[in-house]
Structure 1
Amino acid sequence: MELKPGYKRTDAGIIPSDWDAVPLGNIGDALIGLTYRPEDVRPHGTLVLRASNIQNDKLAFDDNVYVGVEVPEQIMVRPGDVLICVRNGSRNLIGKAALLDERCVGMTFGAFMAVHRGQDGRLVNYLFQSNILKRQINEHLGATINQITNRSLNAFCIPLPPTESERESIGTTLNDVDALLDGLDRLIAKKRDLKQATMQELLTGRNRLPGFSDEWTMKRLDQLAKIVMGQSPDSKYYNRVGDGVPLIQGNADIVGRRSVARVWTRKVSKPGQSGDILLTVRAPVGEVSIASEDCCLGRGVCALRAIGDQAFLFHALVFAEAVWRVLEQGSTFTAANSAQVAAFSVRVPRSETEQAAIAEVLSGLDAEIAALEARRDKTRLVKQAMMQELLTGRTRLVDAKGARV
């Protein structure tokens, strides 16, 4: 490929002529984490950052380990450090990183992690999220190596803008996109909480929609829907090339409460229809979704076709998932047979008009959540494209006067 004027080919890819391609070790130090023993773990003490403390390129504190040992000052983390997973049983986790902030003061990091410490932490963090370093990490790991040594980490080649102001501007621009993504995540969480609260009010009859006063009643599923129990065809008919119809066997074939084609079958033992409510009948029992297309129902699911309002029954069963979970807890209940599914009871309004009205409210909230999720997903794609442009110098940032930063 012919180079554009003003660009050069380097080990870090094609970059502007005034940029450098340098080893990561040239702009900071790679530090090895703390080695500790199981008996060093305490209920409280110094928090040891591990791979589980990085979720979606951000810090997370849902799964913490504390130790009661003296930690060298050098490996006490600082704001601006970049935490990197360098060894893990799961190869997909190697190389994931997060920028550390003020919340991490007083913490350290484990031996399966490394910290890059330098002046350009924000830029380095985005480089680890980009294909620039992901490609080099994948090439380094090869077929058998399952770790990144400090020597290898320092040797990774990165594109480096010539001025501190340009490096800071790139980091700030990408951070602004992250702030937008964080805002969307918070808004989605609020909408989900609102939907859960609305379900609690409307699907229990605690709060009634205007104009409805008829009684509610408990009904068995076989009174509310036609039930089709799944049955898996012989595996010799399975394939992964789209020959036949999708085989839906359980949660592995469900994403976002919609069925997804993963395995196909040329023989259909129990047909499912597009729009069917799908209910898992093997652990975890009671998970609810919708068939995205005609399919074959495997033995891990059953299909429900409502006698009344299909959308209401879907929402009522989503709300009832917690009941199935209670049944599973503390027992060996790992599957539901046709009799148990048929006998499962749901509280419903006698009026189908009220059922439809409730479903309309809840479906409206689902649509709002889906729109926000689609916007977030699009923003993530935009961020990836921006990283590819900005971190390689393909697009250069300018100030308010149009001058290059």
Structure 2
Amino acid sequence: MTEIGEIPEEWEAKPLSKVATYINGMAFKPSEWRNSGIPIVRIENLNSINASFNYYQGKFDSRYLLGNGEILLSWSASLGVYIWNRGKALLNQHIFKVIPVENVSKQFLFWVLHKAVENLSQTTHGSTMKHFKKGQLEKTLIWLPPLPEQQKIAEILATADDEIQKVDEQITLTEQFKKGLMQRLLTRGIGHTRFKTTEIGEIPEEWDVKKIRELRQNIYYGITAKATKENTNLRMLRTTDIKNFKFDLNNLPFCQITEKRSDLSKYFLKRNDIIIARAGTVGVSILVEENLNNVLFGSYLIKIIFKQETIDMPFIHYYFQSQLYWNNISNAQGSTIKNINLPFLNSLEIPLPPIPEQQKIAEILSTVDNKLELLGTKRDKLNVLKKGLMNDLLTGKVRVKV
């Protein structure tokens, strides 16, 4: 028995300070950033491969230099553990370079740190910018098996992670395919050979171009309300609740209405409503699939009710996901989009096929969405499996043969 519970006899309980050295990055000044030189690794670069680099051309201590295979741990704002594999670089502050001591596998330490950071994140400082202190990390106790067992555990967890990465790659490719397919279907249609030039570009001759004001019954802003932990029997949809053009009803907060309204019912979510964010993540939307008579939409959202005799609702929802739509927003608002309003949405011009073709286009795109949903479910299951493996293998609950 140890201070952190029962572990196998061959294992040891050790604080993280005894299994690795933690080097905080260099405090680069913005005035030292350059357009070329050695790239500076910031938290943004760890979280997104597309994040741009700042560069440095001055003198530096070699301890801040990174090479491939280094373990990095971000301890402020965005908490996480990473393996650096993008070549020579310099480490920015708020990120540790982690160097294991002798007889500690780097790959095993990577997984141990994942679990440690997950636990530390539950007790971090700061309400908006989370962080933990180096002392907290170093005092964290871990279970340390003999080196051969460390290596085998790391190998098993890496295999599980590889499977998740393969699914992530499939999701990325499918999303790219969907994006290209939407662009083609919403501009070229299905089986057309004759096209005409319009104010929004070339479209099939049989299609029209219509403004939203011509296609809608109504359009208006949401209601002012505030989230509360008290069960008010009313929930509220906010801009932050919209993820991947969907929302999770179970995660919507209860709310209290903070303005007087005699026509409250118009603010409930109804089947076939399109809801669009006018601020925050500007332009993202959902199609409401059922009547929700206890869910209101907040003031930073806009509801559009379309005339369904001319619009197939799944079709119009795909339009609001398409590059055509996002290009309209960018062109109208410039590169820094802060918000959109009713006049802007009313004036949007939409390529409009006949209803039967709208339905066919939506049906084709829905098959791609079905594939994405299946892949997402597979990824979720693999993540649950990996989490279970980490819990079992890193605690010695399940032993591996070496």
TM-score (norm 1): 0.81
Alignment of structure 1 residues 3-402 onto 2, 5 Å: 8-11=1-4, 13-55=5-47, 60=49, 62-86=51-75, 88=76, 90=77, 93-94=78-79, 96-101=80-85, 103-104=86-87, 106-118=88-100, 119-130=104-115, 132-136=116-120, 138-139=122-123, 146-149=131-134, 152-162=136-146, 164-205=147-188, 208=191, 215-233=206-224, 239-249=228-238, 251-260=239-248, 261-265=252-256, 268=265, 270-282=267-279, 285-291=282-288, 293=290, 294=292, 295-299=295-299, 300-307=301-308, 308-319=311-322, 320-329=325-334, 334-337=339-342, 339-349=343-353, 351-397=354-400
- Structure 2 CA distance for partners of 1:62 and 1:145, relative to 1, 3 Å: closer
Which one-letter code corresponds to 1:396 in the other structure? R
How far off its partner does 1:357 sit? 0.6
Segments of structure 2 that go 5 or more residues without pairing to the other structure are 194-203, 258-263
Which one-letter code corresponds to 1:356 in the other structure? Q
How far off its partner does 1:74 sit? 3.3
How far off its partner does 1:394 sit? 0.7
Alpha-carbon distance between aligned partners in 2 of 1:396 and 1:346, rounded to the nearest angstrom: 60
Which one-letter code corresponds to 2:220 in the other structure? M
Deviations 1:181-217, CA, capped at 9 Å, x for gaps: 111111111111111111111101265379xx87000
1:53–1:64 CA contact under 8 A, matched in 2: yes
Question: Higher mean Cα deviation, 108-117 or 185-194?
Answer: 108-117
Which one-letter code corresponds to 1:344 in the other structure? L
Deviations 1:351-377, CA, capped at 9 Å, x for gaps: 211111111001111111121112112
Alpha-carbon distance between aligned partners in 2 of 1:195 and 1:145, rounded to the nearest angstrom: 36
Alpha-carbon distance between aligned partners in 2 of 1:100 and 1:285, rounded to the nearest angstrom: 33
- Structure 2 CA distance for partners of 1:264 and 1:358, relative to 1, 3 Å: same
- Structure 2 CA distance for partners of 1:361 and 1:326, relative to 1, 3 Å: same
Deviations 1:78-128, CA, capped at 9 Å, x for gaps: 444321123x3x3xx24x221234x33x22212322211124221111112
Deviations 1:110-164, CA, capped at 9 Å, x for gaps: 232221112422111111221x453356557599995423x554433211012x2
SS of alignment partner, residue 22 of structure 1: strand
Deviations 1:322-364, CA, capped at 9 Å, x for gaps: 3123211168973322x54334321111x21111111100111
RMSD of aligned Cα (Å)? 3.1
- Structure 2 CA distance for partners of 1:287 and 1:168, relative to 1, 3 Å: same
1:99–1:121 CA contact under 8 A, matched in 2: no
Alpha-carbon distance between aligned partners in 1 of 2:344 and 2:67, rounded to the nearest angstrom: 56
Paired-residue identity, %? 19
SS of alignment partner, residue 303 of structure 2: strand
Question: Higher mean Cα deviation, 181-190 or 316-325?
Answer: 316-325
- Structure 2 CA distance for partners of 1:99 and 1:264, relative to 1, 3 Å: same
How far off its partner does 1:255 sit? 1.9
Deviations 1:15-36, CA, capped at 9 Å, x for gaps: 2222111122333322232233
Alpha-carbon distance between aligned partners in 1 of 2:302 and 2:287, rounded to the nearest angstrom: 11
- Structure 2 CA distance for partners of 1:331 and 1:184, relative to 1, 3 Å: closer
Which one-letter code corresponds to 1:52 in the other structure? E
TM-score (norm 2): 0.81
Alpha-carbon distance between aligned partners in 2 of 1:114 and 1:330, rounded to the nearest angstrom: 34
- Structure 2 CA distance for partners of 1:43 and 1:258, relative to 1, 3 Å: same
- Structure 2 CA distance for partners of 1:247 and 1:303, relative to 1, 3 Å: farther
Which one-letter code corresponds to 1:108 in the other structure? L
Q: How many residues align?
A: 372
Deviations 1:278-336, CA, capped at 9 Å, x for gaps: 22344655332123552323332113345131111111232223312321116897332
Segments of structure 1 that go 5 or more residues without pairing to the other structure are 1-7, 398-403
Which one-letter code corresponds to 1:20 in the other structure? E
